[in-house]
Amino acid sequence: MRAAPTILHLDMDAFFAAAEQAAKPSLRGKPVVVGGLGPRGVVATASYEARRFGVHSAMPMAQARRLAPNAAYLVPRFTLYRAVSDQVMELLRRLSPLVEPLSLDEAFVDLEAGEAGGTARDAATARATGERLRADIRAVTGLTGSVGLAGSKMLAKIASEQAKPDGLVLIEPGTERELLGPMSVRILPGVGPATGEHLRRAGMTTVADLAEAGEDELVRLLGKAHGASLYRMALGHDDRPVVAERDAKSVSVEDTFDVDLHDRVRVRLEVERLADRCVRRLRGAGRSGRTVVLKVRRYDFSTLTRSETLRGPTDDPAVVREAAARLLESVDTTGGVRLLGVGVTGLADYTQEDLFAQAALVEAPAGAQGDAAPEPQEPAAGAGAGGGEGGEPGAAEDAGGERRWMAGQDVRHAEYGPGWVQGSGVGRVTVRFEEPGSPPGRVRTFRTDDPDLELSDPLPLVAGEAAVERAPSP
C-alpha cells in the first residue's frame, strides 16, 4: 500500500453507447443499447437512459427489448471505439509511462512513475491530476469518464465505480478498512458468484466479516492461495504494481447463430469463415501465432475447446483454416451448434511458415484450398454476425443475393451524404442522415439494393463541450 493515492483508475462511462450518442445527434439523451441484434444477441453496453429501464451489459438482447422497447438498438462499431480509445490512452500516457490498459475503455495509471517523480505525489496533486484528465477527455472526445484514486489498484477501481457516472472519488490511505468493511464481499477481486455463495453459507457477506474471520478460516474455506489473498484484500492490502504493455496473449473471433446449425457441411464452412476472419485480425495486429484453438458451444450450452500446435508461428489463412477443420473432426456436433469460435494463441512478431502444410497446399487440386477461392463475406444478420458475439458486421448478402443492412451501420449516399442505418426489412432500408456535430437529421428510405447507398467508415466524433451542450435533456 502506498502512503499517497497515486494509482489512478479510469473507466469511461457507458463507453460504446456514449460514443454512439455522440456520433448520432438524434440519439443524445435517449436510451441506446449496443450489442448483437439477433435473437441470441447480448447487450454489450447500455446508456444510462436505458439502464433506468433495467437494461445492463451481458443481458440477453431479447430481454432488453422487452424492458425498453423504445430504445435504439445498434450493432457495435469497433472501428470508432478503437479510435476514441486510442485518443484516451494517449492522454493517459501523457500522465505517466506506466499505463495498464484493461480494455478499450478502462486502464490503471501509476502517477508516481516518471523521471521527475510523476505527476502526483500526494492527495492534492493526485486529485488535481484526475480532474485535469477528466476535463481533457471531455475536450478531446466529447465523452465522460469516471476516475478513482487510491494507494492500490483494488481501491482505485472501487473508487472509480463509486464515482460513476462522470465523477472522481479519492480514497485517502489509512481509511481503507473503514471504507471496505460494510461492502459486499463481491466487491473484492476474485470473488465471483460461486465464491460469494460459498462465503455466504459460512456466514460472511461483508468485507468486515472476512477480516474478522481471520486468515486461517479463509484458507480452510478457500484454499491457501485464494484464502490468504482474500484476507489481505479484506484488510485493504494490495501491492500489485501497474504493469505497462499488457500484451495480448491470443486473437480470436466467434459467432452465435440465431438458429442451431445441424448441417455438418454448414458448420465446417462457418469454421473456415471464422478462421479467415481470425487471420485478418491477426495480421492487422502485425502478429502470427503457433496454436489454433476451436471453440464449439452445442445446443445444450455445453462448450468444448480443441487446440492444435503447429510447427511454428503462422499468419497463413489456409494453414489456420485447415487446422481448425481438423479440430472440428474431433467434435461431436450431433444435436446442433449454437456458437463457433476460432482463435490463435502463442503469438509472435514473426512468421515461420509450416513447410509441410504449404507443401500440402501445392499438391492439392486447384480450387481445393482457400487461396484459390474468393474472399469469404462476413455472415449476414441472422446467420452469424448479428448474433451478438462475433466481429464487426457488414452489409452482407442473404441467400437471395439481397443486401442486408443492420441498425447503427455507417453509410453514405451519393446525393444525401453520410448517415446511419436506422432499420431495414422487406427490401427497404431506412437511413437517418446526420453526423457528429450536426443537428438531428432527416430520415429517408431506400431499396436495399440502391446503387447510390454504400457502407462507409465512421466519422470522427466532435470534441469538446459543443457535443455535450447539444445533447437534449432526458
What would the pLDDT profile of 337-353 be if each residue is shown by its tens digit?
Answer: 999 999 999 887 544 43
Q: What is the pLDDT of residues 166-225, one digit of tens each?
A: 999 999 988 988 999 999 999 998 788 888 899 999 999 999 999 999 999 999 998 888
Q: Which residue out of 20, 49, 100, 106 is catalytically annotated?
A: 106
DSSP string, 313-369: EE--HHHHHHHHHHHHTTS--TT-EEEEEEEEEEEESS----HHHHHHHHHSPTTSS
**Across residues 98-112, what is the average pLDDT?**
92
pLDDT at 2: 85
Q: What is the pLDDT of residues 225-284, one digit of tens each?
A: 889 989 999 999 998 899 886 566 788 998 888 889 999 999 999 999 999 999 988 887
Cβ 344 vs Cβ 338: under 8 Å? no
pLDDT at 245: 64
Judged against a pLDDT cut of 60, whether residue 310 lies above it is answered with yes
pLDDT at 356: 35
Helices (H), 375-463: none
Q: Which of 232-236, 284-288, 290-294 has the lowest mean pLDDT?
A: 284-288
pLDDT at 366: 32
pLDDT at 387: 35
Going by pLDDT thresholds of 50, 70 and 90, the confidence category of residue 320 is very high
Question: What does the alpha-carbon distance between residue 432 and residue 416 come to, in Å, rounded to a whole number?
Answer: 10
- In this structure, what C-alpha cell is assigned to residue 266? 454448414
**What fold does the segment set 250-372 form as a domain?**
Dna Ligase; domain 1 (3.30.1490)
Residue intervals of the chain classified under CATH 3.30.1490.100 are 250-372
DSSP string, 61-117: HHHHHHH-TTSEEE---HHHHHHHHHHHHHHHHHH-S-EEEEETTEEEEETT-STTS
Q: Where are the beta strands (DSSP E) in 349-449?
A: 410-413, 417-425, 428-433, 442-447
- In this structure, what C-alpha cell is assigned to residue 1? 500500500
Q: Which CATH class is domain 183-234?
A: mainly alpha
Judged against a pLDDT cut of 50, whether residue 436 lies above it is answered with yes
pLDDT at 117: 63
pLDDT at 301: 83
pLDDT at 341: 95
Judged against a pLDDT cut of 60, whether residue 373 lies above it is answered with no
Active site residue 49: no
Average per-residue pLDDT for the chain: 84
The proportion of the chain whose per-residue pLDDT surpasses 90, expressed as a percent, equals: 62
The proportion of the chain whose per-residue pLDDT surpasses 70, expressed as a percent, equals: 84
**Across residues 119-126, what is the average pLDDT?**
90
Going by pLDDT thresholds of 50, 70 and 90, the confidence category of residue 391 is very low
**Across residues 449-470, what is the average pLDDT?**
76
- In this structure, what C-alpha cell is assigned to residue 70? 423504445
Going by pLDDT thresholds of 50, 70 and 90, the confidence category of residue 100 is very high
Q: What is the reported pTM?
A: 0.73
Residue intervals of the chain classified under CATH 1.10.150.20 are 183-234
Classify residue 178 by burial, with Cβ atoms within 10 Å: 0-12, 13-18, 19+: exposed
Judged against a pLDDT cut of 50, whether residue 370 lies above it is answered with no
**Across residues 402-408, what is the average pLDDT?**
81
- How many other CB atoms are there within 10 angstroms of residue 413's CB atom? 17
